[in-house]
Amino acid sequence: MNNILLIFSLILHGVTFVAIIWLYQQVQKQNESERHFEKRVRETEDMFDSYLLELKDENKKFIQAISKVEHSTFEPTKASDNQISQSYQPTHRHNATEQMKSDFKPESVSVEDQVEPPSLQTQVMHLYHSGHSIEEIAKKLDKGSTEIELIVKFNQKMHV
């Protein structure tokens, strides 16, 4: 009878030992999952921080451009109708037209087109729709794959 109890006790000890090992592995997996989740949260927060900083910089540039435009605008002189009619005294239509033609000197117009490089989101979505994988896009743009993945997911959610 003692032998049976001893064998039963050894079997219970073995089962208990296996159960403890299994539970320890489950706790380790949970801890690993939590660390991975915290890492993703930090990466997302960093991405949003950099995005906000980029937006702040763009807003500062925009405000500076607006202030330059506001300072460079001129106020037209306000003349009354009487002053305008007194200053304009047509003599002969034919002579006035010829005089305007001879006095006309076109101003030189310079147009400076400034093409801004496409935004990161535009580049990512272009490459993604071209069939590149997230890892390939991350390598080409020198960004993190998580950042690229988030941009793709956010863009897909916005356009659904």
Calpha distance 82→14 (Å, rounded): 111
DSSP string spanning the chain? -HHHHHHHHHHHHHHHHHHHHHHHHHHHHHHHHHHHHHHHHHHHHHHHHHHHHHHHHHHHHHHHHHHHHHHH--PPP---HHHHHHH-----HHHHHHHHHHH--PPP------PPPPPHHHHHHHHHHTT--HHHHHHHHT--HHHHHHHHHHHHHHT-
Are residues 87 and 100 in contact, defined by beta-carbon separation less than 8 angstroms?
Answer: no
Band the pLDDT of 89: cuts 50, 70, 90.
low
pLDDT digits (tens, 9 = 90+) for 1-37: 889 999 999 999 999 999 999 999 999 999 999 999 9
Calpha distance 14→154 (Å, rounded): 51
Model pLDDT, residue 65: 86
Model pLDDT, residue 154: 85
Domain boundaries, the chain: 1-72, 118-160
Q: CB count, 10 Å around CB of 90? A: 7
Query: Does 54 score more than 90 pLDDT?
Result: no
pLDDT digits (tens, 9 = 90+) for 91-144: 545 555 555 556 666 666 666 767 778 888 899 999 999 999 999 999 999 988
